[in-house]
Structure 1
Amino acid sequence: MKKLFLFSAFLVGLWLAVFTFKIFNMGGEYQSIIVNFKDDIALTQLEESLNQISLKVNDTPTLNSSFSGDRNVYVLEGNKETLKTLRRSGLREKIEYIEPNYIYHTLDIPNDPDYSKQWNLRAINLERAWADSKGEGVTVAVIDTGVSRVPDLEQTEFVEGYDFVNDRTEALDDVGHGTHVAGTIAQSTNNNYGVAGIAYKAKIMPLKVLGFGGGTVADIAEAIRFAADNGADVINMSLGGGGDSHLMRDAIDYAHKKGVVIIAAAGNENDNSASYPARYPKVISVSALDAIGEKAPYSNFGAGIDISAPGGSEKGLIIQETITGNNQQPSFEGFQGTSMAAPHVAGVAALIKATGIKDPEEVRQILIESAREVAEDPFNHYGAGRLDAGGAVQLALKGKITVKDFLRWLRDSGYLNPGFWIDGGTIMLLPKLGMVVGSYLLAWFIRNYLVFNMSLASGMVFGSSGLFILQGLYIFDLPQWPLRLMGSSLPELGNVVMGTNSLNPIFASALIPFILIALFLGHNTLKWVAIGSCLGVASCLGISAFSHPHVWGLGTGMMAQGFLVINALICFGLAYLASKNDQVVT
């Protein structure tokens, strides 16, 4: 009976997972219903069905368009209640399908009037990234010529910085370069003015180290340490030179150890190597692309390049608001250079950090793995490839369900409707709560592993229940123990060997799942069998802990129950860790 329950629970869980995943990805806004009648329905039956629908929902379906007649696609106004009524209407034999007529929208396009001129933001697939992250809670230090609060930075949040050139707190820009760079990272966006920025909900920390004549390594190193000590998550350095420096290297190592992602421009000399500080191993070095996605003619390349991003050229400049002229008036200006490319990567790094990624090496890896690879790049013009903001954020969110996702799912599933919780009284409250939490966890599981494949499923069956049907199979004159062995779950194999109902603590533990993970972690298919076994064993041990906690040597009390629960949690942790670095379930 216990085995039947386990196997049934697994099948129900699989169905719920698929169903929940469908809800999670299909739920959306709609105000009308699609009714698609079968193509071979007779005209009289069609008219009769339309009349029946009109009587049930007080609205007459109409053809969606003049092209829909041959396919019998009709639309009528309605909501979820209308959809339920239609699905229970008794017309299923005449209808191919009934479904919501979902409303799709354009992706998150800001209302800034000159956003259309920012080819560079569309080139990095930014609108897709904005659906999940806008840089909330992240601070980007701009180590440059300072930053002035031009009108299109008025809604951008600033934190206290420092002017290392003049040794004062206020780090105003007197050149225009740093303000332009800060605009690319976090220009005020959706303010009906000017242009947009990449991580426009991030905070800017202005650190002035450059004037008209450049700046010193000592000031730049001090600024790096200041940023690390004052809460910066990302550092952008659109600057560089030709000399290696122990002081600079130490400062970069210091910031990196404190979790700061450091990005620098590769240089504008068209040389076959990045300049410093972009050359340092713990700095992400950025080369520049022109408007057609090719290496910009001025950009450095070769040794030290990690990734490429839009930097502009005469055929297409990078437009942001900055200050110009002797009177330093605000103006929208087009610049070009690797100085313009680096803040694109800094902005995307902020989007990644906002998803909860803390480790700078993990941010680097996400940027590199999500970059659009260039097939032929013998001179390393592009590093890992062209920056892809949308791909980077999606990769950062793999295995996560954001608060926004959860609330949208609750709304679309009807769980925010008070009637859902009231109907059935207090007796149904706990089961309903379990259903909501359980299906949410199943949605997380499916999103984490992308698809539920046969390798994973077979491992789960082996770990949780085995082919338990074989235990009841009797073949004349053949020994029963092989059938009992094949019909047992992994934790119960010891029972068959020892001929007892008491779980063997060696088999009913995380030991064998750990061995399977260690043996098969490097194999694309068997790895998922091992992961599935971990999850199956976790399920079996968890249920056994509360239904039949009988472990050899530990009895049937609290010790046995604690042993099973702890090992169930370890098995789940093993499965999570083993799957964490995988990109695609094969």
Structure 2
Amino acid sequence: MKKLQLVVLAAFAIIVIGCTKDNPLTEETQETNLTSETSQELLTIPQINKIIDEQLRRTGDFSWDKTSDQVLWSATVHGSGILTIGYGEKGESFSTEKNARLTDSKNAIISEVISMEKGSRKETLFEDDDVLNVIDVQVKSLKTITELRKRNDIRYMEPNAYSFFYSEQYPQNRSSSGCGKDGQTLNNNDYRTVAPGSLVSWTYDEHNIEQAWSYSTGSGVTVGLIDTGVSQSQPLLGSNFNDGYSTGRTIQKYGTFIDSAWPWSNNYDGPHDKCGHGTSMGSTIASPRNNDNLPVGVAYNSNLIAYRATEDVLLNDYHERKGVKDALRQLADRSDVKIISMSIGYPWSINNVKDAVRYAHSRGKLIFAAGGTSLDFTNWYPVIFPASMSETVAVTGITDDGTYEQCDTCHDGSEIEFTIVMQRANDNGRTSAVLGFYNGDTDYVGGSSVATATTAGIAALVWERHPTWSRSQVLNKMRQSSEFYPNKDSTKGYGNIDALQAVQ
């Protein structure tokens, strides 16, 4: 079974624990370095990764703020010298109006970096977001890091071009997580055919989605999808998006991902999926209901805006993080967008993306995020970012055994709001039926990724039924229509959503 899933921790359990003979930093020496004189030695990637791994396993989270100047500087150097700085006071993620204090603070930080690094503004400043209080600068000197950390107008500093997963030891993790273009023939037991000739995935029956279509099909509701884009070789997510019962709607495609190993590149890669993951998510949300004998989406009359913001599902690259940030910014500014679906993530917070999530949330968007999908031996890890944020609605997948058994590769935890049945407990664990990457193809997709896209589709059904409702009203209706409501399970949230109940 193909696993088009959110494989955010595929190499996590084997991360470079033994590759630390070159002056490794233990937990004790790491904490000591926070208060003692900073070492001038550039740490290796295995040494940095060991520190990250230790903090994750000890606390369940990781923050660059809790590392020494030496660690932050070493990671910045290994990440092409790019340092992302969030400026302003605590909680000031964005500014929608001109603010003299924030402008002065930003300019002072840039001037200090220029002075310390002895470069020009053009050489130093890579990115200056006009809404989020975030800049990207070039830093090579340890002293620059040390001096910047003394300022009280910096919220965070992160080496956003450094990847925990992408190194000489694990080069395959850069561009393969969750990807796959090969279609699969669907088992006859995994779908039913409905008029005028569309296939309804078996997973929809677990949530009464077909019955909900008697009341709502998502018409007039626009869903934003931030993922790897959708395939230009799949016409049902392109020229034939308006077909059969799914007429009078639109699909728009954009690209914010820059396909380059160089942080300073501006080589935008366009809107088209080259991975396959985004195509599966787009199909789940909004593929048309027609007579092609192919899988239909949950909200088959909704509008779709698909962003190629990332190369794969793992946000381990500078351009992927920037691409997701920019996609969130752009969707946030669109009044027609009600819902944002994000089946992508990272084990810990990426603060410029976090700032963008908060901006989109402030604009009233209902943001669904995948709780996390990984290989079996890494399921110890809790809910990933950005599903771990209070501004997002975290979703995970379960099997159909009736006991809320966690799917083979899914993460759960206290942040989870909803569960979606997306894997058979038997029958080789087959998952949701979706459109394939190429014209006429079908495929299977699993994990918390498809659970998230399914939930976004259900939200579109609710919002069509109640077009004047706010985000909170839609979310509360979904909670009230879930199995555990008014209680909330410690790891499965409100449980399975009944889509029919949600639209009645």
Q: How does 1:136-215 map to 2 (within 5 A)?
A: 136-149=219-232, 150-153=234-237, 154-156=240-242, 157-166=249-258, 168=268, 170-212=270-312, 214-215=314-315
Separation in 2, partners of 1:168, 1:348? 32
Separation in 2, partners of 1:161, 1:169? 12
Q: How does 1:251-400 map to 2 (within 5 A)?
A: 251-269=356-374, 270-271=379-380, 273-293=382-402, 294=404, 295-312=406-423, 314-323=428-437, 331-355=441-465, 356-373=467-484, 379-380=490-491, 382-394=492-504
> Greater CA radius of gyration, 1 or 2?
1
Q: Does the residue aligned with 1:343 lie in a helix, a strand or coil?
A: helix
How much identity, in percent, do the aligned residues show?
27
**Does the aligned pair in 1 maintain the 2:294–2:440 contact within 8 Å?**
no
1:579 is aligned to none
- The one-letter code matched in structure 1 to 2:227 is D
* Distance apart, 1:321 and its partner CA: 0.9
Separation in 1, partners of 2:488, 2:407? 14
**Does the aligned pair in 2 maintain the 1:263–1:278 contact within 8 Å?**
yes
**Unaligned runs of at least 5 residues, structure 2:** 1-191, 243-248, 259-266
**Does the aligned pair in 2 maintain the 1:139–1:204 contact within 8 Å?**
yes
* Distance apart, 1:316 and its partner CA: 2.4
Q: Does the residue aligned with 1:339 lie in a helix, a strand or coil?
A: helix
1:437 is aligned to none
2:199 is aligned to 115
Separation in 2, partners of 1:353, 1:379? 28
Q: Does the residue aligned with 1:351 lie in a helix, a strand or coil?
A: helix
2:333 is aligned to 229
Separation in 1, partners of 2:401, 2:414? 23
> Residues 139 and 377 of structure 1: is their aligned pair in 2 closer, same or farther, counting only changes over 3 Å?
closer
- The one-letter code matched in structure 2 to 1:278 is A
* Distance apart, 1:190 and its partner CA: 3.4
Indicate whether 1:219 and 2:302 are aligned.
no
Separation in 2, partners of 1:155, 1:263? 23
**Does the aligned pair in 1 maintain the 2:341–2:452 contact within 8 Å?**
yes
**Does the aligned pair in 1 maintain the 2:226–2:324 contact within 8 Å?**
yes
**Does the aligned pair in 1 maintain the 2:423–2:431 contact within 8 Å?**
yes
Q: How does 1:399-478 map to 2 (within 5 A)?
A: none
Q: Does the residue aligned with 1:115 lie in a helix, a strand or coil?
A: strand
- The one-letter code matched in structure 2 to 1:274 is V
* Distance apart, 1:198 and its partner CA: 0.7
Q: Does the residue aligned with 1:141 lie in a helix, a strand or coil?
A: strand
**Does the aligned pair in 1 maintain the 2:199–2:295 contact within 8 Å?**
yes
> Residues 258 and 110 of structure 1: is their aligned pair in 2 closer, same or farther, counting only changes over 3 Å?
farther
Separation in 2, partners of 1:255, 1:282? 9
**Does the aligned pair in 2 maintain the 1:141–1:232 contact within 8 Å?**
yes
Separation in 1, partners of 2:313, 2:299? 30
* Distance apart, 1:189 and its partner CA: 0.6
List per-residue Cα deviations over 1:79-112 (Å, max 9, x = no partner).
xxxxxxxxxxxxxxxxxxxxxxxxxxxxx98326
> Higher helix share goes to which structure?
1
Separation in 2, partners of 1:213, 1:234? 19
Two-structure CA RMSD over aligned residues (Å) = 2.6
> Residues 169 and 317 of structure 1: is their aligned pair in 2 closer, same or farther, counting only changes over 3 Å?
same
* Distance apart, 1:330 and its partner CA: 5.1
* Distance apart, 1:375 and its partner CA: 11
Separation in 2, partners of 1:275, 1:133? 32
* Distance apart, 1:379 and its partner CA: 4.8
2:21 is aligned to none
Would you say how many aligned residue pairs link Structure 1 and Structure 2? 281
- The one-letter code matched in structure 1 to 2:256 is F
- The one-letter code matched in structure 2 to 1:155 is F
Q: Larger RCO: Structure 1 or Structure 2 (Cα < 8 Å, ≥ 6 residues apart)?
A: 2
Q: How does 1:70-81 map to 2 (within 5 A)?
A: none
- The one-letter code matched in structure 1 to 2:479 is I
* Distance apart, 1:193 and its partner CA: 2.7
**Does the aligned pair in 2 maintain the 1:139–1:232 contact within 8 Å?**
yes
> Residues 367 and 272 of structure 1: is their aligned pair in 2 closer, same or farther, counting only changes over 3 Å?
farther
Q: Does the residue aligned with 1:288 lie in a helix, a strand or coil?
A: strand
List per-residue Cα deviations over 1:329-375 (Å, max 9, x = no partner).
65201121111110110001111111214421222211111112289
Q: Does the residue aligned with 1:162 lie in a helix, a strand or coil?
A: strand
TM-score (norm. length: structure 1): 0.45
Separation in 2, partners of 1:364, 1:376? 15
Separation in 1, partners of 2:410, 2:292? 34
**Does the aligned pair in 1 maintain the 2:227–2:313 contact within 8 Å?**
no
Q: Does the residue aligned with 2:337 lie in a helix, a strand or coil?
A: coil
Separation in 2, partners of 1:349, 1:266? 17
Q: Does the residue aligned with 2:416 lie in a helix, a strand or coil?
A: coil
TM-score (norm. length: structure 2): 0.52
Separation in 1, partners of 2:345, 2:338? 21
- The one-letter code matched in structure 1 to 2:347 is G
> Residues 283 and 251 of structure 1: is their aligned pair in 2 closer, same or farther, counting only changes over 3 Å?
same
> Residues 259 and 375 of structure 1: is their aligned pair in 2 closer, same or farther, counting only changes over 3 Å?
closer
- The one-letter code matched in structure 2 to 1:111 is A
**Unaligned runs of at least 5 residues, structure 1:** 1-107, 395-586
Indicate whether 1:245 and 2:356 are aligned.
no
